[in-house]
């Protein structure tokens, strides 16, 4: 069974200067350490199969760092990150894309990056192209694509990969309204099949729809945790979009 | 998170690198042949018309054998070194085995190397050298060079993330090595006291072995046959271990 567990996880970034070699020598010889910036402090939670959790907070609160830690892209300073199952990280769509390669070539590279085997890629090729609505353009170089087409292709590859744990960073709303509806349905399906979902978004409606639980991060700490509805409402009330006129 | 598709992923990354290099060029992959050919002609002109060497037959084939071995080494090492930094987007956003990036870059250069080896063998046959069973040793020798460069690239690509100066160190080293690898001179011209040293330089050893096999139809010296694998495999093992230690914090430094 897939599972995600974080136990008192702290992540620190250190200020980096350009002359890294000199600073490195200063630190090792002179014992001077750069002043740390806490991206996450003492964060703990656990998610089991079929659970979906929303992560909300201001810019720089530590949301993306949290997803990077679960994806294994970066290591914690202290604490424990336990992940059982295959992770699919939709942190930045189209990371491996190259403008000079065709849609089909990029599709295959991306499928491999998402963990598909050669056979799986060929079996799902048509389905991925169809889902992305790109059948007429798939042999064109990617640089001729619009931004929306590129995102659709990347998203389509990702949701056709086998993963137990899905990390979404602002990647739920991609493409036009029809495509958004379709991808949203697809993500909900994946959740019903028992996948774990960890979502970062600034769109409260989407998060409420998709997740039953939420955590609110503020300067790297969890300030509120509970049912998605309540936490998100509290966050929105604390940071209202529009000032209500008296 | 380590999946069982590493082979497919590696193949995808290699072909991606290979395709990107000459995509949209009118001459495409012919550049792989044109580059060494032009250099070969220039060096042959300089060293047969301006500094005539003492009785070297088929100087162009001698030069080309050194050139392609060296140019693979230099290009693969340099592009391998910047492969982590150049793929920062993948390092930051996609959980994939990081080792694949420098290795794929080196192997993509290996494909160009393969084309150039074809050119060398073609020119050798044209110049009258006979195909022999010994040629079966060539894949082993060239394979060991690829392994050596993979090891080097693992080391320098990982270090380059933390110290960006590394790429210039590599660039300067290859410029220096152009003169210290027997490309336009033969091994016999090296004073005996330096020969031992040359044998520990895997690139020089590959050139030497490849000339012995193709031009002299003899088995390369036995000492070379154990030193080359030893050095190549140690670099690969050392490179892998260092890379594994350093890759943990890649995402934080890019």
Res A15: pLDDT:
65
Contact B92/A24, CB-based, under 8 Å?
no
Q: Do B141 and B213 contact (CB within 8 A), yes or no?
A: yes
pLDDT higher than 70, residue A20: no
Task: Provide the 3-class DSSP secondary structure of residue A217.
Answer: strand
- pLDDT digit string, tens, across residues A138-172: 999 999 999 889 999 999 999 999 889 999 988 66
- DSSP codes, B30-51: GHHHHHHHHHHHHHHHIIIIIS
pLDDT higher than 50, residue A77: yes
CA distance A244 to chain B (A): 39
Q: Which helix (H) or strand (E) holds A166?
A: strand A165-169
- pLDDT digit string, tens, across residues B95-128: 889 999 999 999 999 999 999 999 999 999 999 8
Q: Which helix (H) or strand (E) holds A176?
A: none
Contact B92/A75, CB-based, under 8 Å?
no
Least confident of A201-205, B36-40, B69-73: A201-205
Q: How far is CA A216 from CA A64, B85, B180, in A?
A: 13, 33, 61
Res A172: pLDDT:
65
pLDDT band at B2 (very low <50, low <70, confident <90, very high): very low
Contact A98/B248, CB-based, under 8 Å?
no
pLDDT, average across residues B156-174: 92
Q: Do A18 and A46 contact (CB within 8 A), yes or no?
A: no
Least confident of A218-227, B4-13, B20-29: B20-29
CA separation for the pair B160, A21 (Å, rounded): 11
Res A60: pLDDT:
85
pLDDT, average across residues A228-233: 89
Which has the higher per-residue pLDDT, B3 or B77?
Answer: B77
Residues present in chain A in total? 246
Of the candidates A74, A28, A34, the one whose C-alpha atom is nearest the C-alpha of residue B250 is A74
- pLDDT digit string, tens, across residues A84-118: 988 988 888 888 899 999 999 999 999 999 989 99
Contact B93/A75, CB-based, under 8 Å?
no
Whether B49 and chain A come into contact, CB under 8 Å, resolves to no
Structure tokens at A246: 């008296």
Give A113's contacts in chain B (Cβ within 8 Å). 9, 12, 90, 94, 96
Contact B3/A87, CB-based, under 8 Å?
no
Name which of B24, B95, B163 is nearest A89 (Cβ-Cβ).
B95
pLDDT, average across residues B88-93: 90
Give B165's contacts in chain A (Cβ within 8 Å). 21
Give me the half-sphere count of Cα atoms (radius 13 Å) on the Cβ side of residue A54. 29
Whether B245 and chain A come into contact, CB under 8 Å, resolves to no
Contact B5/A116, CB-based, under 8 Å?
yes
pLDDT band at A28 (very low <50, low <70, confident <90, very high): low
pLDDT higher than 90, residue A242: no
CA separation for the pair A65, A72 (Å, rounded): 10
* DSSP at A34: P
Structure tokens at A43: 């964060």
Contact B16/A98, CB-based, under 8 Å?
yes
Contact A96/B3, CB-based, under 8 Å?
no
- Residue in chain B closest to A101 (alpha carbons) equals B20
Angle A88-A91-A92 (CA atoms, 0-180°, nearest 5)? 120
Res B71: pLDDT:
94
Contact A112/B23, CB-based, under 8 Å?
no
- pLDDT digit string, tens, across residues B44-66: 888 888 887 666 788 899 999 99
pLDDT higher than 80, residue B170: yes
Sign of the C-alpha dihedral computed for residues A174, A175, A176 and A180 taken in this order: negative
Sign of the C-alpha dihedral computed for residues B211, B213, B216 and B219 taken in this order: positive
Of the candidates A81, A54, A2, A12, the one whose C-alpha atom is nearest the C-alpha of residue A198 is A54
Output the pTM of the full model. Answer: 0.88
Whether A12 and chain B come into contact, CB under 8 Å, resolves to no
Query: Burial of A116 by CB count in 10 Å (0-12 exposed, 13-18 middle, 19+ buried)?
Result: buried
Give A74's contacts in chain B (Cβ within 8 Å). 249, 251-252
- pLDDT digit string, tens, across residues B203-230: 998 998 999 999 988 888 888 888 889 9
């Amino acid at each position: 069974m897939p599972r995600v567990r974080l136990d008192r996880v702290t992540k620190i970034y250190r200020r980096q200067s350009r002359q890294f070699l000199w600073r490195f020598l200063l630190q090792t010889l002179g014992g001077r350490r750069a002043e740390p910036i806490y991206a996450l402090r003492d964060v703990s939670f656990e998610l089991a199969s079929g659970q979906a959790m929303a992560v909300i907070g201001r810019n720089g609160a530590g949301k993306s760092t949290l997803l990077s830690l679960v994806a294994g892209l970066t290591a914690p300073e202290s604490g424990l990150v336990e992940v059982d199952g295959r992770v699919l990280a939709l942190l930045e769509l189209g990371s491996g894309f190259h403008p000079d390669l065709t849609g089909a070539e990029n599709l295959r590279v991306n499928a491999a990056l998402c963990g598909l085997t050669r056979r799986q890629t060929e079996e799902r090729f048509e389905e991925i192209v169809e889902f992305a609505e790109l059948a007429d353009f798939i042999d064109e170089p990617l640089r001729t694509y619009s931004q929306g087409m590129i995102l659709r292709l990347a998203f389509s590859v990702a949701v056709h990969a086998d993963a137990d744990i899905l990390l979404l960073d602002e990647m739920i709303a991609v493409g036009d309204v029809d495509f958004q509806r379709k991808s949203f349905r697809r993500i909900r399906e994946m959740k019903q099949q028992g996948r774990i979902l960890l979502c970062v978004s600034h769109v409260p409606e989407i998060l409420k729809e998709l997740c039953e639980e939420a955590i609110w991060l503020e300067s790297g700490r969890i300030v509120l945790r509970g049912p998605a509805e309540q936490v998100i409402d509290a966050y929105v009330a604390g940071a209202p979009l529009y000032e209500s006129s008296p | 998170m380590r999946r069982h598709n590493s082979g497919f992923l590696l193949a995808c990354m290699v072909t991606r690198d290979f395709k990107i290099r000459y995509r949209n060029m009118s001459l495409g992959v012919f550049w792989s042949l044109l580059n060494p050919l032009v250099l070969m002609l220039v060096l042959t002109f300089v060293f047969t018309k301006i500094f005539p060497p003492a009785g070297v037959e088929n100087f162009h084939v001698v030069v080309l054998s050194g050139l392609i071995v060296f140019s693979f080494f230099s290009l693969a090492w340099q592009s391998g070194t910047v492969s982590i930094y150049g793929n920062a987007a993948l390092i930051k956003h996609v959980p994939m085995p990081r080792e694949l990036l420098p290795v794929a870059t080196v192997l993509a250069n290996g494909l160009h190397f393969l084309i150039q080896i074809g050119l060398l063998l073609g020119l050798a046959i044209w110049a009258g050298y006979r195909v022999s069973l010994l040629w079966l040793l060539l894949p082993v020798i060239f394979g060991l060079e690829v392994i050596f460069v993979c090891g080097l690239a693992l080391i320098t690509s990982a270090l380059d993330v933390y110290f960006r100066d590394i790429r210039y160190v590599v660039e300067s080293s290859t410029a220096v090595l152009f003169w210290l690898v027997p490309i336009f001179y033969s091994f016999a011209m090296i004073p005996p006291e330096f020969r031992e040293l040359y044998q520990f330089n895997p690139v020089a050893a590959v050139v030497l072995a490849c000339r012995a096999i193709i031009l002299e139809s003899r088995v390369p010296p036995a000492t070379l046959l154990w030193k080359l694998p030893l050095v190549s495999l140690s670099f690969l093992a050392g490179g892998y271990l260092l890379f594994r230690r350093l890759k943990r914090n890649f995402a934080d430094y890019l």
